[in-house]
Amino acid sequence: MKHILAPAQRELLAQLSWSNTLLGFDFDGTLAPIVTDPLRANLRPGTRRLLAELCGLYPCVVISGRSIEDLAPRLAGVPLRALVGNHGLEPWKATEEMRRRVASWRRRLGPRLLGLQGVELEDKTYSLAIHLRRARAKKAARAAILEALGTLGPARLVGGKQVINVLPPGAPHKGLALERERERWGCDTAFFLGDDETDEDVFAMGTPGRLFCVRVGAVRGSHAAYCLKSQLEIDGLLDRLIALRKDGVSQRRHAR
């Protein structure tokens, strides 16, 4: 994977800044640092300021595993074009049938997971997230969770950092959501930044000249061609995208 902030990639970012590009971002581990308690996840003040400025220069969307209800207050005041939640499912594929199915899953899983130390079941209305971050015996906890999930029938399981996401069959993934937003806003290309297994659905759709993908943290086997070394580099990337766009606008004005 190539470091997106390396001097060799400056021309790539410059080309993106001059084109009609949609910028897409995951939230946890990408815009916001990973924290022990997911309820406490938030943008650093500097990231919030840069992201708000970026949104005035490019069409920007956030596509997250969190629900839109959860995301909205965390991104209040940031003029994004769209929030997409539940791994691409919400809002445009969030049906009553899916809500009922997830509610049924929660009722069935709750008692089975209740005795597992450190395991937390999160209901996101249209999907479930089973968190293992606080479990001491993670291998045993994961095995017990997978056994319980096997009783649900058809479901789409998506792994993550100390979490197993459970979605209804047929639910769209983040890659499809990004493509929909690109078409919705009439953009020629898309640039997406994510950090997790759930973002590989976007990375796997990477098309030279059409979709550019960056993963936070270099991971062998990832479909993303580019990476940031860590989440701490997010502000540097946002700042560079802002500077390149402003420079391009300035050059076009002087050329008139």
Q: What is the pLDDT of residues 180-239, one digit of tens each?
A: 999 999 999 999 999 988 899 999 986 667 899 999 998 888 999 999 999 999 999 999
Q: Which residue has the higher pLDDT, 238 or 133?
A: 238
Segment 248-256 long-range contacts (CB within 8 Å, at least 24 positions apart): 248/14, 248/17, 248/18
* Ordered strands of the 128-131 beta sheet: 120-123, 128-131, 163-167, 156-160
Domains and CATH numbers, the chain: 2-91+172-255 (3.40.50.1000), 96-167 (3.30.70.1020)
Q: Report d(CA 211, CA 189) in Å as an integer.
A: 6
254 vs 16: which has the higher pLDDT: 16
- Residue 208: helix, strand or coil by DSSP? coil
Q: Is the pLDDT of residue 40 over 70?
A: yes
Mean pLDDT, to the nearest integer, of 26-53? 94
